[in-house]
Each structure stands twice: as structure tokens, then as C-alpha cells.
Amino acid sequence: MEKEKLYQKISQEILENIGGSQNIQGAAHCATRLRIVLKDLSLVKTDKLENIDLIKGCFIAGSQLQLILGAGTVNEVYKVFAKEAKLENMSLSDVKDIAAKKENPLQKVIKALSDVFVEIIPAILAAAILLGVTGFLANFEAVKTNQTLYAINRLAFLASVGIFAVLPMVVVYSATKRFGGRAILGIVVGAIMLDGSLANAYSIGTPGFNPEILDLFGLKIQMVGFQGGIIVALMMGYIVATLDKFFEKKIPSVIKLLISPMLTVFISTFLLFTIVGPVGRELSNYITGGLVYISTEFGMIGYMIFAGLQQIIVITGLHHILNAAEAQLIATTGRDFLNPLMSVALISQGGAVIGYYLLHRKDKKVAEIALPSFVSILFGISEPAIFGVNLKHKFPLVAGCIAGAIAGAFVYIFKLTSLGFGATAIPGLSIIDPANNGYINYIIVHLIGIFAGIVLCYFIGKVKTKKTIEEVKTEIKENKNIEEISLIPPVNGEVKDVSQSSDQTFASKAMGDGILVNPIDEVFVAPADAKVELVFPTKHAIGLTLKDGSQILIHCGINTVTMNGEGFETYVEEGQEVKQGDKLVKMDLKKVQEAGHSTQTLIIVNEVGQGSKVIVDANSKTPIIIKKA
């Protein structure tokens, strides 16, 4: 029951800071995050959301607000949140569909590429693990000489290479399905790409390579297969789906079953060998050649740059594009040098999280966020660490990027590659190429990333803290020298001396000198640069500390404390720095009057800085002046 009340409170606070349930288009949750699709993102108050109990961080991706709550907790909070927000129970795919409608063209392309490989990655991971294990076991004499062990290892090897032999066909299948076509037609076109009667693409450039050449209206077409043609497969999946949807819509129902799939397959085959294949093959060569060129020509520097910036790419969401590049590398070279770099980039951010925790180890809130985030990093999940700690505080992200670059240098030195992609950190060990002491070196580079992340974050944090202390000392010194502070009225309306207030306590100036305003507007702003010291729970009053140490109180309405916050909305929180004119609070004048209260607002100087005095002139544009005596 206590947990139910806590989740209810959390849900209500979330709604308060996202513009209410009327601003929600849909909500669901994944393994660790509450995902909310919003109509207007400008209503989101991320700074307040991050301070709600159990929320470890928040970020906006596209039109989705994502709140990191952690595995298990998110399920329970979602149940209560859905009830509080009066939402129809939606699945994660429903929410993604709603969010997709609001994506720009680039976001749609990136998401499409990601979706194509989501279904394929489990098969690639399984094959890569088996390939690594069989390659490792093949080095042992016992496996070579024992018939049973050899047979098991041989069958395991066969199971490991199967997916790579038909990878283009699998990609066409997945892409066709993703773009809304019938997946079976994608399989058919994928099979055509790998047909045995075609010359093998891997034989191009070898002695005796002499493929059949067709003459189509003077166009010479080489009948070469598309082994390793992942980019071609992606393009063909889109074409098959587009043609299938077109013919299904245009052809009469009577002949649709016979004509529609035939036209789709034939036209797709024609386009494959005349336009898409040649263009896609060149594009694949550029991608693979470019990546190999970077790894060979730029060497260690190239590895360091990629590992240093990879998690920045993750934050933007552009990392999904790399799935296609990794698949092309695997299909062309049999190895993926990007995956270990991504893994050390990730683990280095984990080291930075620990470094930040060590800087604030006495803060329970930091421990609650940092430690579980590091555990998530170990299993390849970076969002809690990135958005809950590193990006939020900035310098841990920088430390993690530098540490990633350092670890990336050792990936180059150790010649680390993977046999697949889609798994990093601890799970990534299972797909590492065992050549060149791969397993041991993989562990070493990750320890380097963690240690470098911890040291750099701790060092940068210490330097930053020292600099902040010096800045505070300087500010205090400067504040002592402030001769005069002029306060503007916090709201438009009639200004009078506080002695004319209808509240005798304020009128007597027992609480301090000041002014009153009979407001005609509802939004109240900061009268001067200040720090928010107090926000009353009922939202009707705010206390500010000015630059010279003087303290003022802005009290909205008379006896409005009894309204318990109804009709009031605050824009600031305690500890926040504000500039003159920044919004502080909104008071619904009509609601206050309907409740039988006066809207008369008081601005009182509770305490003046040492050696200062208060001058009040209700007729002035700056009716309160605090100056040195």
C-alpha cells in the first residue's frame, strides 16, 4: 500500500510537469523507461522531472519523453501512471507508431534501418558466438583427434556460418516486411540474389572469373550474384515492398493473386540487375572501402576518434545507421572492427559514472542513480548512465569520451575484431574474434576504459569543484561591493505602499518594508536578479535572496494559503538562479476572487544586506531600492 501511494505521488508529479494528461498522446514502457508521446514538448519541465523520486534521468527522443526508472520499477509505476492519466492501455509498438508519425525524414530513415536489423541481430549473435567458440576449440589437439568432439565442433561450425551465407536474403526479407510488403516476396527476391546459376560475387577479380553477360537492348548485364550485398538487399527490400503495395492496390481482385506477385518479383529482378544492383554494389564498395581505409590509413588516430565520439552519436540516435555498415563489413570481410570500439566507448562512460559517484559518494541520490546505471552499462545498456548522470552533468560525458578514445587506441594495438555485432560490454565477449588473444585483450581494453573513465571524471570533477568554489568566493566578494539594487514590480497593476494593504500584518510593516500591487496580469516575474530560496508548498509565495544578501518575499493574494495551491502554477524551484524579468509564478485571478480572496500581492524586504537600507517610492518605475547607507 505504501508503494502504491508513492507511485501515485510520482505519477501526479510527472503529470504536473508535462502539461497534464491532456498533453499526452500515448504512453507505454520498455525494460527500463516510461515512454510518453506528447503533443507539445515545450510544456515539459525536465529539471523538475529529474528531481522526482525514483526517476534516474529523463530525455526527449523525437516526440517521446523517456523517463528512466529501472527494470521492475517502471512496470509498477506505469500501471499507476496509466490509471492517473486515464490512458488507454497501449503497447510499446503503439507508442512507437504514434511517435513515428511526428518524425522528420532523416529520423524515419534511421528508424527504418534500425527496425530492419532488430529482427536479424539475434541470428547474427548466435552465429557469431558459435563461430568464436568453434574457432577457439579448433586449436586444441583433443578436438582434432577425438572423432566425437570433432563432429560436435564441425556441426557447430556449420550452424555458425549458415546465417552469413544467406545474409542478403534475410535482409531483403526483413526490409520488405518493415516497409509493408509481403515478406515471402522478399525471400524470393533474396534467393534470386544468391541463385547458384550466377557467378559468385566473392570470385570477382580472381583468375578465370568469366560470368555470363546478357545483352538487353544494348545494355550489357553481368550475371553475378550478390553475396555480401547488404546495401543492395536493403534497397531491394524497399523496392519489393513498394511494388507489392502498388500492385495490390491497382490490380483488380479477380486476377490479383496471380498477377500482383508475378509483376512484383519480375520487375524487382529486372531492377536488381539493371539499376539497383550496380548502384548498390558501388555504394557497398564505398562504405566498406571507406571504413577499411580509415582503419588502415588513419590507424590508431581513426580508432581513437571513433571510440571517443561514438557515444555522442548514440545520443543523437544516428548510431542505428552503423548497423548496415557493420553488416556489410561482416558480409565482405568476415570481421567487424567497429563493435569492439563501440563497446569500449560504452564501458568508458560507465567508468565516468563511477568517477562521478566517488565525487559524491555521500549523496544517497547519486548512489541510487549511478550504481545501477553502471550495472546496466556492464550489460550493454547505456541510457541510464548517459541521460541520468553523464549528459546531465556534462563533465562526466567528456571524461567518458576521452577514456573511450584511450581505450580505442588499445583496440587498434591489440587488433581486436568481432565475428558479429549487436552485443557489447560483458555480452560482447561472446562474439569477439579469439585470434590475437582476443578474449584476454577484450577484457584488458575494457578495464582500461573503466579505469580511465574513473580517473578522468574524478580529476575533472575535482578541478571543476575547485573552480566553482573560487567563483563563489569571487561572487561573494563582488556582492559585498554592490552599492544599490533596484527592484521592479513583479506584475503589471496599481502599485501602492505596503502600509495601505488590507492585511494588517503586512500594513504594519512588522514583516518588513515594501509595496503592494493590485495585479491586472496573472504571471509574476523576478523583481531583480536573485536566487530562489523558498517556494511555498501552496505555491502562493516565493522567497528570494538578492545579490547583496537581502531577502524579499513575494506573497500572491491575501489568505490564498487556504487554496492549497489551486489556481497557482510555479515556474521555478528552490535553489534556482533567476534574472530580473524571469517568470516565477502564475496566479489565476478569477479563481482567487471566486474563492473570496483579494488578489492584492505584497513584495516585502524581510532582511537587508549588511549596512544597507530600503527606500520605497510607489510612484517610481523601480518602487523598491536597496542601497548602502
Hey, which residues are catalytic here? 30
CA pair distance 155, 558, nearest whole angstrom: 83
Q: Which amino acid is at 184?
A: I
CA pair distance 629, 542, nearest whole angstrom: 27
Report the candidate in 293, 291, 178 with the shortest Cα–Cα distance to residue 233.
178
Dihedral (CA of 573, 537, 69, 24) sign: negative
Q: Grid coordinates standing for 517?
A: 500591487
DSSP letter for 223, please. -
Q: Are 419 and 429 in contact (CB under 8 A)?
A: no
Tell me how far the alpha carbon of residue 71 is from its chain's centroid: 17
CB atoms within 10 A of CB 484: 12
The phi and psi torsions of 482 (rounded to 5 degrees) equal -70, 125
Helix (H, G, I), strand (E, B) or coil at 26: strand
- Beta bridge partners of residue 106, listed in sequence order: none
Q: Grid coordinates standing for 109?
A: 530513415
CA pair distance 144, 164, nearest whole angstrom: 25
CA pair distance 251, 240, nearest whole angstrom: 16
Q: Grid coordinates standing for 523?
A: 504571471
Helix (H, G, I), strand (E, B) or coil at 467: helix
Q: Are 545 and 531 in contact (CB under 8 A)?
A: yes
Report the candidate in 386, 409, 391 with the shortest Cα–Cα distance to residue 305.
409
